[in-house]
Structure 1
Amino acid sequence: MLKMVLVTARDRARLKEISSVLIRYGLQDIIRLLGLGSLLSGAENGGVQQDNQTLPARLRAALEALGPTFVKFGQILATRSDLLDSSWTDELDRLHSQASTLPWSELAAQVTADLGAEPHKLFAEFDNTPLAAASMAQIYRARLHSGEAVVIKVLRPSLAKTIHADLRLLTYLAETVEQQSPTLARHRPRQMVRALATALNHELDLTHEGNNCERIAECFARQPEVAIPKIYWQWSSKRLLVQEFLPGTAPENPQQLAAAGFDGPLLAQRGAQAFMKMVLEHRLYHADPHPGNVMALAGNRVGFIDFGMVGQLSERRRNQLLLLLQSIAERESGGIVNTLIAWSDSDPLDLLDLELAAQNFLDKQASATLTLGKALTDLLVMAREHQLAMPPDLVLLFKALITADGVLHRLDPNFDIIATLKPMLQQVMLQRYAPDAVQRRMLALGAEALDAGEEIPQTLRLLMRRMKRGQIGADINVKNIDQLSKALERAAVTLAIAIVTAAFALGLAPYLMHASLRLWGIPLFPALGGLACLGGVLLLALRLRR
């Protein structure tokens, strides 16, 4: 409670702004659910009526109105079919980060300070009319004196303060949910918020985007069919990024691409190979490959832009993904079950039920052209139905894969990504089990075993010394130990009372037996003693039976 007071005191203005937006869209129940009902006083009827919209649609509109933090959070939830049903995920999938354009007068001073000079003097050409505007930044066109066309990405001013306040409030909310709802706690909301915070903090520093862009460009240095923009560091900074302009066409419409002379199927194949190479080979991938960030370039080249959100996979997670994709491609349920067990920490698991669900999942993918986005969505639905908690680090990966698959089918509605993936999967698996790779893993395993072996003698000496001194202790965690402790305490109290009572009874019995007090001619104290004895025997028998 104290923490809530401190949070609301620090971010009171932002909290009221969030509440007013939720009220405006008729989402008062969410405010009450969050334990913030006091903010509704006097404002119950202050919202705009949204009777013609569904609850998911109103939530989507409210998230868009609340700005980049909540838009990003909603976009992540849109991929969580393991948490929400399709009525919510389909609506949240429509979230976009478009925002009203800020006039140049509000950005001119910041841009000049970051560049060190007025842009009209620094560049041969500069257009102060935004090429695009989003909730995080605005994009401007320019041309260098050397002739190269560039784009300048400028962060909106005073953005960090609002985002940090939002993240603090979401952190408190996640902690509260984990404490009060065991059902939701298994989905690890605090980890979800931490992942969101990491992504947003990186987007607040454009040097991260520039570094990500260069790292991925190195992966495709020998593949001219894939284009990554060049970064001009001499003019870039934390709030401003100057990069090469890629003159391309967004893959919104296959007919439009065909009319412009592009080969949609070839673009889809190259795009799929490029994206899966990021994921499977380099384990560093574009995490937001929507149609605005993937371009069709002259010569049927594929261009990727906007590397503000980049995901990275551990080798272990990559290997699990390999097993899953290969199992889907080969329609083999065992690998799917093993992957889900590795990803979920839910307990207990009904293995037979899970195997049946995996087979049913494969039956749903029985069409000739398998869609990866649909397959992953169905997998998340299966996880929700069987209450399997998916790791939060997979959320970004699944979001990227589902989004990329949607773009590929815009390029080629008949695109079969599994047919494209099979050769890549085989190649990566062969590389993983090649003699050199196996030798490296064996050497690493041997080094770890050797290090552990060197510690064994010292550990045994310490153990023997403590055993000789009688200093061995054990920390045992017994389930329901609190209930056991209370039961033992009650039994001890009962036993103590019984012993004290028996002692008094034995001491007083000789005197009471010789008492002459009678009732209807019956000795009173012997009769009471007999009844008490009978009652005690019956009570003891009842307790033993229970």
Structure 2
Amino acid sequence: MSASWRLLPRVMRIAAVVVRYRLDDVIDDAHRFRVLRWARLFVPRAPAEVAALPRGARLVMALTELGPIFVKFGQILSTRRDLLPADIADELTALQDKVTPFAGSEARLAVERALGAAIGERFAAFDEQPLASASIAQVHAAELRDGREVVVKVLRPDIQARIQRDIELLRALGELANRVHPNADKIRPLDVVAEIESTLLNELDLQREGANASLLRRNFIDSHDLYVPEVVWSHTTAGILTLERVRGIPVDDLAALDAAGIDRVQLAEKGVQLFYTQVFRDNFFHADAHAGNIWVDASRRDNPRFIALDFGIMGTLPEQDQYWLAENFLALFRQDYKRIAELHLRAGWMPADVRMDELESAIRAVCEPYFTRPLSEISLAEVVVKLFQVARRYQLTLQPQLILLQKTLLNIEGVGRLLHPTIDIWATARPVLERIWLKRSGPRAMLRRLRRRVPEWLAAAPDLPQLVHGYLEQVTHGKLELRIASEDLRLLEAHSRRSPRLAINLTAGATLALCAALLQVFDGSTARWHGLSLIGLGAAALAVWAFARAFCTR
């Protein structure tokens, strides 16, 4: 039986659920999907009270009926606000990943298989009644033989096979949408499916989640703002994850927080500050920071802190994106729309032929209405989402890591406003970002990066004279070929041919500056050079300069 025929019953069931909840009415060009047209003839429609619900609420009901894997799909899709209408994305964020637990005896067997030993040999106690159950795994309380309380996360039986089947189905639906949807080139359904597949497969590796938790804990080991439970590596494999057991108050339980005497205003400000610290100081952030994954330490009333849970989805940014993003935030804080447009183009996030004045005008049209309100009423996350939507009209292609960041910002701001409805996100975020970014990009940071690169330069130093000699020899004999596609670089090439002295002098000047930097780096360090070596370094720089000048005057 071919793959298409094997998937047909599942496709028919999905079509039936879509029609039952009247979602076929909101699918673009639904008449192209023949399965939906036939399903309308046989499937009873939902009652009028269901039909009266918003489309996002009906979609949540449909995904819940289709099963836990589709609930997980919906949660991942909620991060794609660049593709989904705001009302649907908002409803999808409310999807609760709570499903019927599987038998505790099966969890016990899975733990014994993963650890290669009987439960009694590795644990003093293991509770077969789960603490929580989700679509991928469920969690059990346990006690180690040394008396430590832990929780054990166990993958659901046969979950990998089920996910592979559903991904295969989703890929088939993506190919169908790619053929018939009028905006398939912009939505890129197969890329969305690939993103969902990658996220789910990562969540199936609990050892990877343990590594995420371990790194986040190390980043905040001395912090008074965030606590991350310790991973018990001796009881962790790809199929089970054992963590220190922690206790706290869910961040959305405001009554319990107030009863415990927690300062919610201080807590809200810490939440916003933690976001920028994770993103721009550590470049490693919790990308699933909804209320269910954040608790509050009830034992610290005067100086409250968060407790992080569930480390399956974490985000990082390439160094370049981190730079462009930080500069974009700072420009947004200063209402410098021209700078925002310039940064989007220089980052390569959109085509180089986009007119900067048009992009600046579009950004101003989005931002100015917000800045007429008091800053405490402005949603930074909402502004960022609107900016991404505007940029999409100019063919902006968002990378998955930027989408995760956008979703995390929405979650963090939502938690902040839940705790403190009148929090001034801008006033709280700006000084933190400015302080962190100064440390990351200031003179001291540059000097530290320079120190790290010096050993690489020293390793390459013996080959430099021969490389310089070979380069200058090609210049002398007219054998050097320079192939440049950019018009700007072609103009630079023509200018350098008209002014060879300037080019050589700049090269020599850069050599001298490099030598001066090396002298500064090693002066005062533990690895001091001998005076003769320093003199030799300076002499080498002068020799390169003289050599370049000699070739220049020929």
SS of equivalent residue, structure 2 residue 292: coil
Matched, 1:353 2:350: no
SS of equivalent residue, structure 2 residue 251: coil
Match of 1:397 among 394, 405, 410: 405
SS of equivalent residue, structure 1 residue 365: helix
CA deviations over 1:250-292 (Å, ceiling 9, x no partner): 1114343122121112222333323321111111111100111
Counting only pairs closer than 5 Å after superposition, residues 4-23 of structure 1 correspond to structure 2 as 7-9=3-5, 11-12=7-8, 14-23=10-19
Distance 2:104 2:213 in 1: 27
Distance 2:356 2:161 in 1: 48
Shift of 1:406: 0.9
Q: 1:51 to 1:271 in 2, by over 3 A?
A: closer
Letter in 2 for 1:397: L
Q: Is the 8 A contact 1:268 1:415 kept in 2?
A: yes
Q: 1:17 to 1:177 in 2, by over 3 A?
A: closer
Letter in 1 for 2:98: Q
Look up the match of 1:321: 325
Shift of 1:224: 4.2
Distance 1:40 1:307 in 2: 42
Q: Is the 8 A contact 1:14 1:166 kept in 2?
A: no
Letter in 1 for 2:332: I
Shift of 1:106: 4.3
Q: Which runs of 5+ in 1 are unaligned?
A: 468-472, 476-546
Matched, 1:25 2:30: no
Shift of 1:174: 4.0
Distance 1:177 1:474 in 2: 40
Q: Is the 8 A contact 1:99 1:134 kept in 2?
A: yes
SS of equivalent residue, structure 1 residue 303: strand
TM-score scaled to structure 2, two decimals? 0.73
Counting only pairs closer than 5 Å after superposition, residues 240-389 of structure 1 correspond to structure 2 as 240-297=240-297, 298-299=299-300, 300-341=304-345, 342=347, 344-345=349-350, 349-366=354-371, 367-369=374-376, 370-383=378-391, 388-389=396-397
Q: 1:46 to 1:395 in 2, by over 3 A?
A: same
Q: Is the 8 A contact 2:203 2:313 kept in 1?
A: yes
Shift of 1:216: 1.1
How many residues are matched? Answer: 465
Matched, 1:146 2:146: yes
Shift of 1:107: 3.4
Distance 1:34 1:284 in 2: 45
Shift of 1:38: 5.0
Shift of 1:8: 1.8
SS of equivalent residue, structure 1 residue 129: coil
Q: Is the 8 A contact 2:78 2:92 kept in 1?
A: yes
SS of equivalent residue, structure 1 residue 262: coil
Shift of 1:146: 2.5
Matched, 1:424 2:457: no
Distance 1:77 1:379 in 2: 19
Q: Which runs of 5+ in 2 are unaligned?
A: 486-554
Match of 2:34 among 29, 37, 46: 37
Shift of 1:305: 1.1
Q: 1:73 to 1:233 in 2, by over 3 A?
A: same
- Higher relative CO (Cα under 8 Å, sequence separation at least 6) belongs to 1
Q: 1:32 to 1:188 in 2, by over 3 A?
A: closer
CA deviations over 1:177-230 (Å, ceiling 9, x no partner): 556667432354443333322211111111010010001111112224421111
Shift of 1:25: 3.0
Letter in 1 for 2:43: G
Matched, 1:213 2:213: yes
Q: Is the 8 A contact 2:287 2:407 kept in 1?
A: yes
Counting only pairs closer than 5 Å after superposition, residues 227-238 of structure 1 correspond to structure 2 as 227-238=227-238
CA deviations over 1:366-400 (Å, ceiling 9, x no partner): 22213322222332343456664433331111111
Shift of 1:121: 6.2
Distance 1:62 1:268 in 2: 34
Letter in 2 for 1:96: Q
Look up the match of 1:64: 64
Look up the match of 2:171: 171
Distance 1:96 1:292 in 2: 9
Q: Is the 8 A contact 2:366 2:387 kept in 1?
A: yes
Q: Is the 8 A contact 1:79 1:377 kept in 2?
A: no
Matched, 1:414 2:410: no
CA deviations over 1:283-309 (Å, ceiling 9, x no partner): 111110011111110211211111011
Computed over aligned residues only, the root mean square deviation of the Cα atoms, in angstroms, reads 3.9
Q: Is the 8 A contact 2:30 2:36 kept in 1?
A: no
Matched, 1:435 2:435: no
Shift of 1:93: 2.6
Q: 1:56 to 1:42 in 2, by over 3 A?
A: closer
Q: 1:230 to 1:343 in 2, by over 3 A?
A: same
TM-score scaled to structure 1, two decimals? 0.74
Letter in 2 for 1:250: P
Identity %: 31
Distance 1:34 1:441 in 2: 59
SS of equivalent residue, structure 2 residue 131: strand
SS of equivalent residue, structure 2 residue 433: helix
Letter in 2 for 1:231: V
Distance 1:126 1:430 in 2: 49
